[in-house]
C-alpha cells in the first residue's frame, strides 16, 4: 500500500540553499545543483562542469545527493568523509539540501584574452614552458589557472600560471605543460605544431591561493605542479610574507628536476626559515644523487621536524595520486583538513571511461 501511495503521490519539489549567497532555488528533476544554481542567477564558482576541476567543491550541511560521476576522482576520501561534494555532479535526493561554498576573495572577473604562443622552451624531457603574449594585461591571484584553447581542440584545457602576478597585470604569461601520452593538446604542442599559434586564454580561474595565517606552510609540487607553487612563493617572497616554509619537489630522476635555481633564489630571499627538499622516486641506486629518495609525500616531517602541525597549512599541486597521498600524510601528522589546499592536475580521461 505504501509503495502504491508513493508511486501515485506527486513528486515533491527539491530545493537547495547556498551560503554565503543566502540563495534558495528549486532543482528540477534531472538537473544538477550547479545547473539550477546558475539558472537561478547564483554566482556559484565553477569551470569544467564535468567533475574534473574542483571549482564547484562545496560542503553539504544537510540533505543527501546522488553523484553523476564519482566525486572521488577529484575530491579526496577525507574530503568526501567530511561532507564535501561537487555541485556540477550532484543531484539532490531530499526536499531541502543545504550547501556552503568558499568564495575566492580579491579575484578579478573571468574574461577572454586573445593570445599567441611566442615561446616554447623545454624544462625537462616531458615538460615545456610556453609563453603567451596577450592582447591586454591579465590580472590574477598567485596560484590561479587559465583555460587555454586553440582552434584545433574542442574544449579548453586548464593550466596554472607559472609567474607571480603584477598589480597592473601581465601582458605575457607563462605556463609549464607536461606531455600527456595520447593527449590532443599536449601531443600537438610537443610535436611543434603550435609555434606562434593563436590561442584563447580565459582567466582567472580557481581558488588555490595563499591563505592568511602566520603558521608554517608545507608546499608539495609534482611534475608541472611546480608552476602554481612558484607563482605563489615568488609572490609571497616579494610581499615579505614571514612564515616558516618547506618546499618539497617530487620528481622521478635528477633529469626531471627543473627551476631549481629559481627555488633556491626564493629560499634565499624568504623572510623566514625556508627548507627546499627535492625527492626522487626512480633515481638509479648507483647514481651521484645524495638527496632524498622515495615518495615526496613521505618527507613532510623530515622537511619540518618538531613543528606544531595543528597550526600548519598544506599547499599542493600536481598529479591526482600525489595529492591524495599528500592529504593522507598531512592529516596523519595532525594537519587540519580545512588547512590543506590543492589543485589536482586531472584530465578528462575518467569521463571517457564511464559506462
Ligand X SMILES: Cc1cc2nc3c(=O)[nH]c(=O)nc-3n(C[C@H](O)[C@H](O)[C@H](O)COP(=O)(O)OP(=O)(O)OC[C@H]3O[C@@H](n4cnc5c(N)ncnc54)[C@H](O)[C@@H]3O)c2cc1C
Cβ–Cβ under 8 Å, residues 30 and 52: no
Q: Which residues pair with 315 in a beta bridge?
A: 219, 341
- Complex with ligand FES: residue 51 or 92, whichever CB lies closer: 51
Single out the residue of 124, 122, 195, 204 nearest to residue 160, CA to CA.
204
- Complex with ligand X: residue 63 or 225, whichever CB lies closer: 225
Q: Among 159, 249, 274, 342, which residue interacts with ligand X (rule: CB under 6 A)?
A: 159
Does the N-terminal peptide bond of residue 204 adopt cis geometry, omega within 30 degrees of 0? yes
Q: Does 33 bind ligand FES (CB under 6 A)?
A: no
Cβ–Cβ under 8 Å, residues 343 and 145: yes
Give, as ranges, the residues between 57 and 76 that touch ligand FES (CB under 6 A): 74
At its nearest, how many Å lie between ligand X and the CB of residue 300? 22
φ/ψ region of 27 (left if φ > 0, alpha if ψ in -120 to 50, else beta) reads beta
HSE-CB for 155 with a 13 A CA cutoff: 9
Cell numbers at residue 17, please? 540553499
- Complex with ligand FES: residue 49 or 253, whichever CB lies closer: 49
Whole-angstrom distance, CA of residue 140 vs CA of residue 235 = 11
At its nearest, how many Å lie between ligand FES and the CB of residue 146? 15
- Count Cβ atoms below 10 Å from residue 172 Cβ, excluding itself: 15
Give, as ranges, the residues between 328 and 347 that touch ligand X (CB under 6 A): 343, 345-347
Q: Among 27, 54, 199, 316, which residue interacts with ligand FES (rule: CB under 6 A)?
A: 54
Q: Does 53 bind ligand X (CB under 6 A)?
A: yes
At its nearest, how many Å lie between ligand X and the CB of residue 20? 23
- Complex with ligand X: residue 112 or 349, whichever CB lies closer: 349
Cβ–Cβ under 8 Å, residues 266 and 284: no
Q: Does 224 bind ligand X (CB under 6 A)?
A: yes
Q: Among 37, 42, 86, 304, which residue interacts with ligand FES (rule: CB under 6 A)?
A: 86
Cell numbers at residue 325, please? 597521498
Q: Does 233 bind ligand FES (CB under 6 A)?
A: no
| Segment contacting ligand FES by CB under 6 A, of 45-53, 135-143, 226-234, 251-259 | 45-53
- Count Cβ atoms below 10 Å from residue 13 Cβ, excluding itself: 11
Whole-angstrom distance, CA of residue 122 vs CA of residue 281 = 21
At its nearest, how many Å lie between ligand FES and the CB of residue 57? 7
- Complex with ligand FES: residue 68 or 295, whichever CB lies closer: 68
* Percent helix, percent strand, percent coil in the chain, to nearest 5: 25, 30, 40
Whole-angstrom distance, CA of residue 122 vs CA of residue 285 = 26
Q: Among 51, 143, 206, 216, which residue interacts with ligand X (rule: CB under 6 A)?
A: 206
44 contacts: CB under 8 Å, gap ≥ 6: 18, 21, 34, 37, 38, 56, 87, 101
Q: Does 183 bind ligand X (CB under 6 A)?
A: yes
At its nearest, how many Å lie between ligand FES and the CB of residue 68? 10
Q: Does 160 bind ligand X (CB under 6 A)?
A: yes
> Which of ligand FES, ligand X, none lies near 227, with the C-beta cut-off 5 to 8 A by kind?
ligand X
Site for ligand FES, rule CB under 6 A: 46-49, 51-56, 74, 86, 88
Site for ligand X, rule CB under 6 A: 52-53, 145, 157-160, 175-178, 180-186, 206, 224, 227, 343, 345-349, 352
Amino acid at each position: 500500500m505504501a509503495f502504491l501511495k508513493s508511486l501515485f503521490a506527486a513528486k515533491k519539489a527539491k530545493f537547495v540553499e547556498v551560503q554565503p549567497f543566502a540563495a534558495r532555488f528549486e532543482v528540477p528533476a534531472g538537473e544538477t545543483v550547479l545547473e539550477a544554481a546558475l539558472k537561478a542567477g547564483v554566482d556559484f564558482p565553477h569551470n569544467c562542469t564535468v567533475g574534473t576541476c574542483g571549482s564547484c567543491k562545496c560542503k553539504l550541511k544537510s540533505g543527501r545527493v546522488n553523484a553523476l560521476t564519482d566525486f572521488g576522482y577529484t575530491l579526496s576520501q577525507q574530503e568526501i568523509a567530511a561532507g564535501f561534494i561537487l555541485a556540477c555532479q550532484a543531484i539532490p535526493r531530499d526536499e531541502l539540501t543545504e550547501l556552503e561554498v568558499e568564495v575566492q576573495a580579491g579575484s578579478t572577473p573571468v574574461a577572454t584574452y586573445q593570445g599567441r604562443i611566442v615561446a616554447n622552451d623545454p624544462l625537462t624531457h616531458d615538460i615545456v614552458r610556453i609563453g603567451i603574449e596577450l592582447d591586454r594585461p591579465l590580472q590574477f591571484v598567485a596560484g590561479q589557472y587559465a583555460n587555454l584553447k586553440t582552434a584545433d581542440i574542442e574544449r579548453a584545457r586548464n593550466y596554472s600560471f607559472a609567474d607571480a602576478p603584477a598589480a597592473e597585470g601581465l601582458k605575457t604569461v607563462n605556463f609549464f605543460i607536461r606531455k600527456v601520452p595520447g593527449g590532443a593538446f599536449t601531443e600537438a604542442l610537443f610535436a611543434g605544431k603550435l609555434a606562434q599559434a593563436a590561442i584563447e586564454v580565459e582567466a582567472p580561474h580557481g581558488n588555490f591561493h595563499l591563505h592568511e595565517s602566520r603558521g608554517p606552510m608545507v608546499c608539495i609540487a609534482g611534475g608541472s605542479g611546480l608552476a602554481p607553487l612558484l607563482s605563489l612563493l615568488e609572490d609571497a617572497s616579494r610581499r615579505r610574507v614571514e612564515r616558516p616554509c618547506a618546499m618539497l619537489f617530487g620528481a622521478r630522476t635528477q633529469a626531471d628536476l627543473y627551476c631549481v635555481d629559481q627555488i633556491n633564489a626564493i629560499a634565499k630571499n624568504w623572510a623566514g626559515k625556508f627548507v627546499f627538499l627535492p625527492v626522487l622516486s626512480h633515481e638509479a641506486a648507483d647514481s651521484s644523487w645524495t638527496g632524498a629518495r622515495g615518495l615526496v609525500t613521505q618527507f613532510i616531517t623530515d622537511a619540518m621536524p618538531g613543528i606544531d602541525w595543528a597550526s600548519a597549512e598544506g599547499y599542493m599541486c600536481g598529479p591526482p595520486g600525489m595529492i591524495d597521498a599528500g592529504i593522507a600524510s598531512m592529516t596523519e601528522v595532525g594537519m587540519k583538513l580545512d588547512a590543506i589546499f590543492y589543485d589536482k592536475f586531472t584530465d578528462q580521461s575518467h569521463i571517457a571511461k564511464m559506462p
